[in-house]
A and B are shown apart, each in its own frame.
Chain A
Amino acid sequence: MGVEGIGARVARKEDKRFITGRGRYVDDVKVIGLTHAHFIRSPHAHAKVKGIDASAAKDMPGVVDVLTAQQLVDDKIGNLICGWAVSSKDGTPMKMGAWPAMAPDTVRFVGQAVAVVIAETKNQAKDAAEAVVVEYEELPAVSSMTTALAKSAPQLHPEAPGNVVYDWAIGDEKQTNDAFSKAANVVSLDLTNNRLVPNAMEPRAAVAEYDEAEEHFTLHTTSQNPHVARLVLSAFYNVAQEHKLRVIAPDVGGGFGSKIFIYPEEMVALWASKKVRRPVKWTGDRTEAFLTDAHGRDHMSHAEMAFDANNRILGLRVKTHANFGAYMSLFSSSVPTYLYATLLSGQYNIPTIYAEVMGVYTNTTPVDAYRGAGRPEASYLVERLMETSARQLKVDPAELRRINFVTQFPHQTPVIMAYDIGDFGASLDAALKAIDYSGFPARKAKAKAAGKLRGLGFSCYIEACGIAPSKAVGSLGAGVGLWESAEVRVNPVGTIEVLTGSHSHGQGHETTFAQLVAGRLGISVDQVQIVHGDTDKVQFGMGTYGSRSAAVGMSAIFKAMEKVEAKAKKIAAHLLEASEGDIVIENGEFKVAGTDKAIALPMVALAAYTAHNLPDGMEPGLKEGAFYDPTNFTFPAGAYICEVEIDPGTGKTDIVDFVAVDDFGRLINPMIVEGQVHGGLAQGIGQAMLESAVYDDNGQPVTASFMDYAMPRADDVPSFRVSHTTTLCPGNPLGVKGCGEAGAIGSSPAVINAITDALGHNKIEMPATPGRVWEALQLRQAAE
Chain B
Amino acid sequence: MYETTYHRPASIDEAAALFAKHPDAKYLAGGHTLIPVMKQRLAAPSDVIDLARIKDMIGIEATADALIIKAATTYYDITQSAAAKKAIPAIVHLTSVLGDPAVRYRGTIGGSIANNDPAADYPAAVLALNATIKTNKREIKGDDFFQGLFSTALEDNEIITSVSFPIPAKAGYAKMRHPASRFALTAVFVAQSKSGEVRVAATGASQSGVMRVPAIEAALKANWSAGALDGVNISADGLMGDIHGSAEYRANLIKVMAQRAVEAAS
Q: Which residues of A contact B (CB under 8 A)?
A: 123, 126-127, 130, 287, 649-652, 690, 692, 694, 702-703, 706-711, 769-771, 774-775
Residues of B within 8 A of A706 (CB): 180-181
B231 at the interface (CB under 8 A from A): no
CB atoms of A771 and B256 under 8 A apart: no
A287 to B246, CA, bound (A): 26
Residues of B within 8 A of A650 (CB): 176, 253, 256
Distance of B19 from chain A, by nearest CB (Å): 25
B222 at the interface (CB under 8 A from A): no
Residues of B within 8 A of A775 (CB): 246, 249
CB atoms of A707 and B246 under 8 A apart: no
A112 to B1, CA, bound (A): 22
Distance of A131 from chain B, by nearest CB (Å): 13
Among B180, B252, B256, the most chain A Cβ lie within 10 Å of the Cβ of B180
Distance of A772 from chain B, by nearest CB (Å): 9
Q: How many CB-defined contacts (below 8 Å) exist between A and B?
A: 51
CB atoms of B252 and A707 under 8 A apart: no
Among B1, B243, B256, B259, contact of A702 (Cβ-Cβ < 8 Å): B243
Among B2, B40, B41, B249, contact of A771 (Cβ-Cβ < 8 Å): B249
Measured CB to CB, the nearest residue on chain B to A690 is B179
B245 at the interface (CB under 8 A from A): yes
Among B2, B40, B243, B256, contact of A694 (Cβ-Cβ < 8 Å): B243
Among A126, A703, A710, A711, contact of B41 (Cβ-Cβ < 8 Å): A126
B244 at the interface (CB under 8 A from A): yes
CB atoms of A652 and B176 under 8 A apart: yes
Distance of A279 from chain B, by nearest CB (Å): 24
Distance of A364 from chain B, by nearest CB (Å): 16
Among A692, A711, A771, the most chain B Cβ lie within 10 Å of the Cβ of A771
A649 to B255, CA, bound (A): 9
Q: Which residues of B contact A (CB under 8 A)?
A: 1-3, 40-41, 176, 179-181, 185, 243-246, 249, 252-253, 256, 259-260
Distance of A651 from chain B, by nearest CB (Å): 7
CB atoms of A774 and B252 under 8 A apart: yes
Residues of B within 8 A of A690 (CB): 179-180
Among A651, A692, A710, contact of B249 (Cβ-Cβ < 8 Å): A651
Not counting A690-B179, A702-B243, A769-B245, a sample of 11 additional A-B residue pairs whose C-beta atoms are within 8 angstroms of each other reads A123-B3, A130-B41, A287-B40, A649-B256, A650-B256, A692-B243, A708-B243, A709-B180, A710-B180, A711-B180, A771-B246
Measured CB to CB, the nearest residue on chain A to B182 is A713
Residues of B within 8 A of A287 (CB): 40
CB atoms of B243 and A770 under 8 A apart: no
Among A123, A703, A711, A774, contact of B243 (Cβ-Cβ < 8 Å): A703
Among A127, A287, A652, A710, the most chain B Cβ lie within 10 Å of the Cβ of A710
A287 to B42, CA, bound (A): 14
Measured CB to CB, the nearest residue on chain B to A649 is B256
A774 to B176, CA, bound (A): 13
Distance of A680 from chain B, by nearest CB (Å): 20
A651 to B252, CA, bound (A): 10
- Could you list 17 A-B pairs, sorted by A, with CB under 8 Å? A123-B1, A650-B256, A651-B249, A690-B179, A692-B243, A703-B243, A707-B180, A708-B180, A709-B180, A710-B179, A710-B180, A711-B180, A769-B244, A770-B179, A770-B245, A771-B249, A774-B252
Distance of B61 from chain A, by nearest CB (Å): 34
Measured CB to CB, the nearest residue on chain A to B3 is A123
Distance of A344 from chain B, by nearest CB (Å): 30
Residues of A within 8 A of B249 (CB): 651, 771, 774-775
Among B176, B243, B245, B256, the most chain A Cβ lie within 10 Å of the Cβ of B243
A214 to B259, CA, bound (A): 74
Residues of B within 8 A of A771 (CB): 185, 244-246, 249
Residues of A within 8 A of B260 (CB): 649
Measured CB to CB, the nearest residue on chain A to B260 is A649
Distance of B125 from chain A, by nearest CB (Å): 21
Residues of A within 8 A of B181 (CB): 706-708
A312 to B166, CA, bound (A): 70
A303 to B105, CA, bound (A): 51
Measured CB to CB, the nearest residue on chain A to B40 is A287
Distance of B147 from chain A, by nearest CB (Å): 23
Residues of B within 8 A of A694 (CB): 243
A711 to B176, CA, bound (A): 17
Residues of B within 8 A of A126 (CB): 41
Distance of B249 from chain A, by nearest CB (Å): 5
Residues of B within 8 A of A651 (CB): 249
Distance of A41 from chain B, by nearest CB (Å): 14
Among B176, B179, B185, B256, the most chain A Cβ lie within 10 Å of the Cβ of B179
A649 to B259, CA, bound (A): 10
A709 to B249, CA, bound (A): 19
Measured CB to CB, the nearest residue on chain A to B243 is A694
Among A127, A769, A774, contact of B179 (Cβ-Cβ < 8 Å): A769
A145 to B256, CA, bound (A): 37
Distance of A305 from chain B, by nearest CB (Å): 32
Residues of B within 8 A of A127 (CB): 2
Distance of A628 from chain B, by nearest CB (Å): 43
Residues of B within 8 A of A130 (CB): 41
Measured CB to CB, the nearest residue on chain B to A706 is B180
Among A287, A706, A770, the most chain B Cβ lie within 10 Å of the Cβ of A770
Distance of A709 from chain B, by nearest CB (Å): 6
A651 to B253, CA, bound (A): 10
Measured CB to CB, the nearest residue on chain A to B183 is A707
A769 to B244, CA, bound (A): 7
Residues of A within 8 A of B3 (CB): 123
Measured CB to CB, the nearest residue on chain A to B259 is A649
Measured CB to CB, the nearest residue on chain A to B39 is A285
Distance of B150 from chain A, by nearest CB (Å): 15
Residues of B within 8 A of A774 (CB): 245, 249, 252
CB atoms of B252 and A770 under 8 A apart: no
Distance of B165 from chain A, by nearest CB (Å): 27
Counting from the closest, the 10 A-B pairs by CB-CB distance are A771-B245, A710-B180, A710-B179, A649-B256, A707-B181, A771-B249, A708-B180, A774-B249, A694-B243, A650-B176
Residues of B within 8 A of A123 (CB): 1, 3
Residues of A within 8 A of B253 (CB): 650
Residues of B within 8 A of A702 (CB): 243
CB atoms of A770 and B180 under 8 A apart: no
Distance of A330 from chain B, by nearest CB (Å): 29
Residues of A within 8 A of B245 (CB): 769-771, 774
Residues of A within 8 A of B180 (CB): 690, 703, 706-711
Distance of B261 from chain A, by nearest CB (Å): 13
Residues of B within 8 A of A709 (CB): 180
A8 to B80, CA, bound (A): 44
Residues of B within 8 A of A707 (CB): 180-181
A769 to B180, CA, bound (A): 10
Distance of A644 from chain B, by nearest CB (Å): 16
Given contacts A650-B253, A692-B243, contact A770 B176 (CB under 8 A): yes
A130 to B180, CA, bound (A): 30
A706 to B180, CA, bound (A): 6
A652 to B176, CA, bound (A): 9
Residues of A within 8 A of B179 (CB): 690, 710, 769-770
Measured CB to CB, the nearest residue on chain B to A705 is B180
Distance of A763 from chain B, by nearest CB (Å): 15
Distance of B242 from chain A, by nearest CB (Å): 8
A770 to B246, CA, bound (A): 11
Distance of A442 from chain B, by nearest CB (Å): 27
A126 to B185, CA, bound (A): 34
A771 to B244, CA, bound (A): 6
Measured CB to CB, the nearest residue on chain A to B252 is A774
A703 to B244, CA, bound (A): 11
Distance of A283 from chain B, by nearest CB (Å): 14
A176 to B240, CA, bound (A): 48
Among B3, B252, B259, B260, the most chain A Cβ lie within 10 Å of the Cβ of B252
Measured CB to CB, the nearest residue on chain A to B181 is A707
Measured CB to CB, the nearest residue on chain B to A692 is B243
Measured CB to CB, the nearest residue on chain A to B244 is A771
Measured CB to CB, the nearest residue on chain B to A767 is B179
A697 to B255, CA, bound (A): 33
